[in-house]
Structure 1
Amino acid sequence: MSAHMQKDGQTETLSFTAKAGMQLHAWIGPRGSGTAELSMHIPPLDTVGLKTTETGITAVHYICDTAGAAQLKWNRDDTDCRAIYVFDPATVTDKGIEILYVDPITRRSNPNGPAGFRPPFGWMNDPNGFCYHDGCFHLFYQFNPTSLAWDRMHWGHAVSKDLYTWTDLPVILFPDPAFPGDGGAFSGSSWPAEGAGLDLFFTHHRHGADEVEVQCRARTSDLVGIDAEPEVLIDARPADARERMDFRDPFITRGPDGRLYMVLAGRNRAEALLFLYRQAEDESWDYQGVLYSEPRFGGVAAECPVLLPFGDPQDAGTSWLLIFSLLGSRSKVKNRRNVTLALVGRFDGVQFTPDLERELDHGPHFYAFQACNSPEGIIGLGWVANWSELHAGKKLESGMTWPRQLALLDAPDGSRQLSVLPYRIPGDGPTLDIAANDEPVAIPAADILEIKLSIPKGNDPLHMTLGGDIDLDLILSERSLIYRCADMDQRELDVPFTGVGGVRVLLHHGTLEIFDQAGEWSSTLACAFYGKTSHINIAVSGKAQMSVAARSV
């Protein structure tokens, strides 16, 4: 579909071809205290006005009753229009939405395309409801379609068969119009619904209410829109959470007794807390107590919990994975805020007892990791950003990490370790084998670069420089990663690198991800390059060997 924009004074006219049954989502708001209006005309029907008087930008919806040449008009003096898309409910899961208009306020320089996920426009943060369902991966995410900054939260939605190419679907959860000015639909998870589709579990954040955060469920049978208004499942915090208002981000899992369990995140004045609920026979949710507490960072809030089995949840010998982020935490090592922890241990339906622990990522731009069980094991992804930098005014068109595969492995010393490595990288392109050389080597254009480094014993600190489209320096040595990017000051991070071995580096659309070859550590960095790499030079000092794979769809 092609849309044509025409401007006559302050009147904007958008012309496109409508199909019967096509649905339209638009975000508009009044300029001042009047009424915002989009006028929709599809001859021979009368003109229809899509209106709102709410303060701020809100969504309006329309279903086309007939096919034909359509026109949308609005006057910029009284109507602030941020984004418009249309879709055919019968084909949207294959073809995706069709964007008709995006205002510069919400337009991204790196909209969704191959490689790591980014939204088609607007702001995004936490991944939500990530799951493998009927042969596809579904990714929901915290989404503000009205600007490039955080605001009232919606749930965006995309689907992929390969975790590399994503199809954008319609927004599936909207802020509740009964609570104007609220925080909207906060983070959560999904679970297969009875019959067909998914149940979406999320926190509704209500400014000014006695209980600011309540836990809700919405069912989507067609995976495009919700069947009915969301229902409130848990309308009050338990006594363990009364000291603070934080009580959010429900994660659903099947427990050792075969029942569904819900993990919620929060805190008290001394420690971060994870709360456990169990679904009863009548589908109500009974509080079981504190699943896990984390006191080492003080009374910061836990967020975005994950609880998954490495195998059959009803097998008493199954190990469990527990992940959560700590909002406001400061790492005891260099230059990290808002740490994400991963623990492996035992879950008995009441408490989680850890056997091993690691930081899930040692970089400055990694948060809110969410994972699911799939035919290929546990796979997840995280948000490439850091609240501390965003609150300090840093601009960042954030995306998701490359998907990661988590596995529990036996270490050479007989212990067990949690391995986290990038999911397989598809696509075509050349692979170049390069010896360490201070002279730059040109790399072909690519959606994603995978750089494999082999660092021998006795090597000096590895210094890798990327020039051309991106200006980046990395210096890797024992327990230290120093990096400098064009839009950032030089920073040093503490990483558990021994100074010897293999390292994998992924570069895709503004994100640099570094992995130890055994999956023992990773570090995620955001930089100011958002496009497909068309001109990259790489120079590496020392004795390292390098293999560079340039991959594109």
Structure 2
Amino acid sequence: MTTTTGIPEGHRAIDVELPVNAMLHLWLKAVSPDEPGAVSFYSVNGKFGEVQAVNSEENSFRIYHVFGGGTVTLAYDTAVTSLSVAYWFTPSDVLETGITVIHTNPANEPPDLPAGYHFRPPFGWMNDPNGFGRFGGRPHLFYQHYSHGRIWNNMHWGHAVSSDYLRWRHLPVFLFPSEELTVRPDKRGGAFSGSAIARTDGPGIRVFFTEKIADRIPEQEIQLTATSTDLFSAGAAEVFLPRRPDGEGLTFDFRDPYVFRGPDGLWKMLLGSQSDTGGVVLLYETEDNTAASGWVYVGKLYTETRYETSALECPCLLPMDGDYRDPATRWALIYGLMNGEDKETGRRNLTMIDIGWFDGRSFAKSFGRELDFGTDNYAFQAFVDGNTPVGIGWLGNWADTGPTVDFPSAMTLPRTLVLEGDTLLTPPIGAAESLRARMLDRTRLASGQRIELPNGAAEITFELSEAGGAFRLEFDHPEIRLAIAQHEEGLEILHGYLDRPEEPPGPRYLAKAAGARRLRVFLDYGSLEIFADGGRVAGTKRIAGFEAVRAARLVAEPGVVVNATVWSLRL
């Protein structure tokens, strides 16, 4: 039996209004290997198209171009077909309008978070930021992505574009795993992290990324490049670095290419790895002005011997206080310590930032520190936007998430990087003030009263009478014991689970001897971010789940708190 429109009885139907020349992206799979899965397309005139998939283990990507506009119905038999994701866009204006998601399922749907302001993917899993930069006049963010669940699996690159680093339009999925890896969700690899530059040989961008296939011999991880002329779809990728350098005693870790202009005008590239002496950052360069080929190994730019780290990940190097061609300009070297542990506090996978001078072939460190004492600001990637270094990180940490954890993730608030003499500041971008929707309080928090928060998105600022003044900012959360305290040891994020009183204490999120005086705290569903003294100290902590912080109370001795203000936030 069929309906009056020709759709078979019992088929699931999804109606969507499409403009002329809409492009549909769908991922579907067969429920069993005995019968292909299929999604059919109907208009008022009946069925006009269909896509199929025979794979019953992993979703297959399909494209369908609908030339005419109007109401279109996607229909499929749930007994034989599973549809994971469907969205549409029009190529002519997708950078301005983004994609429109018309279907997800319970395994990959995004959380519904009213007023939430951190970047999250439109569906599925997300980790490292990639290819962060301004292209075609707009900030672009690529990221590690798996579409079909909220757990890590074979990697794609998701993509979004913005005008202010806060309000993002989701774009079509940009990079896909190799055909070998799209057959089954076996977590063997995919299109791993990398970077992007503006093309020098035409319009668009060139991206660099690591392809990983876990059991490939002799190299599990190799480096690929691809170009995009339209800024939303990638051409065919080509291998430009098929093997690790010889004679360096490196493990199979060989990933996360970060490409940038060096002070000698040549394109440089950093890669993360591990040697028998510690985690390393490798340096390459090329005389090819397109950066497509000709890459030559220069040597180990940096070796990390602290914290018993394995591979260094997501290295990044950028000029901080002047033109990249000026020998006096100081540079920031940023890198993640995979599996590294601070034994004193128990924190793992720290991210470090070192300041020094880069002459094109070597880095001379002046000083350095942890980028974030909360440690949930990982894989931080930055670039110079005009004259301002801007960066963003993954709001997560492999110590408490991973391939088996259902964890719909977020990015941190974007941050600027500022050098004031020999002090490094990493405050949130100035546009963060535009998130302030309504002032909730200017007097009661400072006097020790409880301030109710209307939703999970809030900003709290306060000033102390002297640097290092003792306080405790307590939060009412239904599942987590959560507070920020400053005491004789330093500035600390206090975190624990209300339902696990017998559980051994976890890491101490402590910035020793912080001596903070001015604090700015951002709350969102699932996260807490602190910026002290204009970003001289920064701490980021993921909060499990998406329950909102319900209230805040600031406890201090009389005269310690000079003033305090609370805002509710929204995009």
Judging changes above 3 Å, is the alpha-carbon distance between structure 1 residues 79 and 476 closer, same or farther for their aligned structure 2 residues?
Answer: farther
SS in 1 for 2:95: helix
SS in 2 for 1:430: strand
What is the CA-CA distance between 1:444 and the residue it aligns to? 5.0
- The 5 A counterparts of 1:118-197 are 118-179=120-181, 180-181=183-184, 182-194=188-200, 195-197=202-204
Match of 2:533 in 1: 517
Match of 1:465 in 2: 474
| Comparing 178-187 and 359-368, the one that deviates more | 178-187
CA offsets, 1:341-383, max 9 Å, x none?
Answer: 1011111221212111100001142210011111251010111
CA offsets, 1:17-51, max 9 Å, x none?
Answer: 33342111112222232433222334467432332
- The 5 A counterparts of 1:6-405 are 11-34=11-34, 35-42=36-43, 43=45, 46-53=48-55, 55-110=57-112, 115-179=117-181, 180-181=183-184, 182-194=188-200, 195-210=202-217, 211-226=219-234, 228-240=235-247, 243-281=250-288, 283-298=293-308, 300-310=310-320, 311-375=322-386, 377-391=388-402, 395-405=406-416
What is the CA-CA distance between 1:438 and the residue it aligns to? 3.8
SS in 2 for 1:289: strand
Q: Aligned partners of 1:392, 1:68: CA distance in 2, in Å?
A: 41
Judging changes above 3 Å, is the alpha-carbon distance between structure 1 residues 163 and 134 closer, same or farther for their aligned structure 2 residues?
Answer: same
Match of 2:4 in 1: none
CA offsets, 1:518-550, max 9 Å, x none?
Answer: 42221111114647x6x8422111132322233
Structure 1 residue 494 corresponds to structure 2 residue 502: no
Q: Aligned partners of 2:401, 2:76: CA distance in 1, in Å?
A: 33
Judging changes above 3 Å, is the alpha-carbon distance between structure 1 residues 393 and 217 closer, same or farther for their aligned structure 2 residues?
Answer: closer
| Comparing 36-45 and 232-241, the one that deviates more | 36-45
Aligned pairs, how many? 539
SS in 1 for 2:318: strand
Task: Report if aligned partners of 2:379, 2:394 keep a CA contact under 8 Å in 1.
Answer: yes
Judging changes above 3 Å, is the alpha-carbon distance between structure 1 residues 196 and 333 closer, same or farther for their aligned structure 2 residues?
Answer: farther
Judging changes above 3 Å, is the alpha-carbon distance between structure 1 residues 369 and 458 closer, same or farther for their aligned structure 2 residues?
Answer: closer
2:314 partner letter: C
Match of 1:3 in 2: none
Q: Aligned partners of 1:254, 1:16: CA distance in 2, in Å?
A: 46
What is the CA-CA distance between 1:480 and the residue it aligns to? 4.4
Match of 2:552 in 1: 538
Task: Report if aligned partners of 1:112, 1:166 keep a CA contact under 8 Å in 2.
Answer: no
What is the CA-CA distance between 1:122 and the residue it aligns to? 0.7
| Comparing 256-265 and 492-501, the one that deviates more | 492-501
SS in 2 for 1:173: coil
What is the CA-CA distance between 1:485 and the residue it aligns to? 5.4
| Comparing 194-203 and 137-146, the one that deviates more | 194-203
Q: Aligned partners of 1:257, 1:240: CA distance in 2, in Å?
A: 27
Judging changes above 3 Å, is the alpha-carbon distance between structure 1 residues 68 and 37 closer, same or farther for their aligned structure 2 residues?
Answer: same
Q: Aligned partners of 2:491, 2:537: CA distance in 1, in Å?
A: 12
| Comparing 177-186 and 536-545, the one that deviates more | 177-186
Task: Report if aligned partners of 1:496, 1:521 keep a CA contact under 8 Å in 2.
Answer: no
What is the CA-CA distance between 1:241 and the residue it aligns to? 5.3
What is the CA-CA distance between 1:94 and the residue it aligns to? 1.1
Task: Report if aligned partners of 1:470, 1:536 keep a CA contact under 8 Å in 2.
Answer: no
Q: Aligned partners of 1:112, 1:208: CA distance in 2, in Å?
A: 43
What is the CA-CA distance between 1:442 and the residue it aligns to? 2.8
Judging changes above 3 Å, is the alpha-carbon distance between structure 1 residues 65 and 500 closer, same or farther for their aligned structure 2 residues?
Answer: closer
Q: Aligned partners of 1:97, 1:318: CA distance in 2, in Å?
A: 41
SS in 1 for 2:401: helix
2:463 partner letter: S
CA offsets, 1:127-159, max 9 Å, x none?
Answer: 000002233110000011100000111111111
Structure 1: gaps spanning 5 or more residues: 1-6, 411-415
SS in 2 for 1:379: strand
Task: Report if aligned partners of 1:404, 1:421 keep a CA contact under 8 Å in 2.
Answer: yes
Judging changes above 3 Å, is the alpha-carbon distance between structure 1 residues 48 and 166 closer, same or farther for their aligned structure 2 residues?
Answer: same
Q: Aligned partners of 1:294, 1:302: CA distance in 2, in Å?
A: 8
- The 5 A counterparts of 1:382-461 are 382-391=393-402, 395-410=406-421, 416-424=422-430, 425=432, 426-427=434-435, 428-430=437-439, 432-434=441-443, 436-444=446-454, 448-457=457-466, 461=470
Task: Report if aligned partners of 2:33, 2:54 keep a CA contact under 8 Å in 1.
Answer: no
Structure 2: gaps spanning 5 or more residues: 1-6
2:442 partner letter: D
| Comparing 387-396 and 62-71, the one that deviates more | 387-396
Query: TM-score, normalising length from structure 1?
Result: 0.90
Task: Report if aligned partners of 2:356, 2:363 keep a CA contact under 8 Å in 1.
Answer: yes
2:193 partner letter: S
| Comparing 12-21 and 87-96, the one that deviates more | 12-21
Q: Aligned partners of 1:458, 1:168: CA distance in 2, in Å?
A: 42
Aligned residues with identical type, % of pairs: 30
Judging changes above 3 Å, is the alpha-carbon distance between structure 1 residues 299 and 333 closer, same or farther for their aligned structure 2 residues?
Answer: closer
SS in 1 for 2:342: coil
Query: TM-score, normalising length from structure 2?
Result: 0.88
Task: Report if aligned partners of 2:38, 2:52 keep a CA contact under 8 Å in 1.
Answer: yes
Q: Aligned partners of 2:48, 2:96: CA distance in 1, in Å?
A: 32
CA offsets, 1:236-274, max 9 Å, x none?
Answer: 111155541110100011011101111111112331011
Q: Aligned partners of 2:469, 2:93: CA distance in 1, in Å?
A: 56
Judging changes above 3 Å, is the alpha-carbon distance between structure 1 residues 111 and 546 closer, same or farther for their aligned structure 2 residues?
Answer: closer
Task: Report if aligned partners of 1:204, 1:213 keep a CA contact under 8 Å in 2.
Answer: yes
Task: Report if aligned partners of 1:335, 1:364 keep a CA contact under 8 Å in 2.
Answer: no
Q: Aligned partners of 1:10, 1:371: CA distance in 2, in Å?
A: 51
Q: Aligned partners of 1:329, 1:441: CA distance in 2, in Å?
A: 39
Match of 1:413 in 2: none
Q: Aligned partners of 1:15, 1:370: CA distance in 2, in Å?
A: 40
Task: Report if aligned partners of 1:486, 1:528 keep a CA contact under 8 Å in 2.
Answer: no
Task: Report if aligned partners of 1:270, 1:299 keep a CA contact under 8 Å in 2.
Answer: no
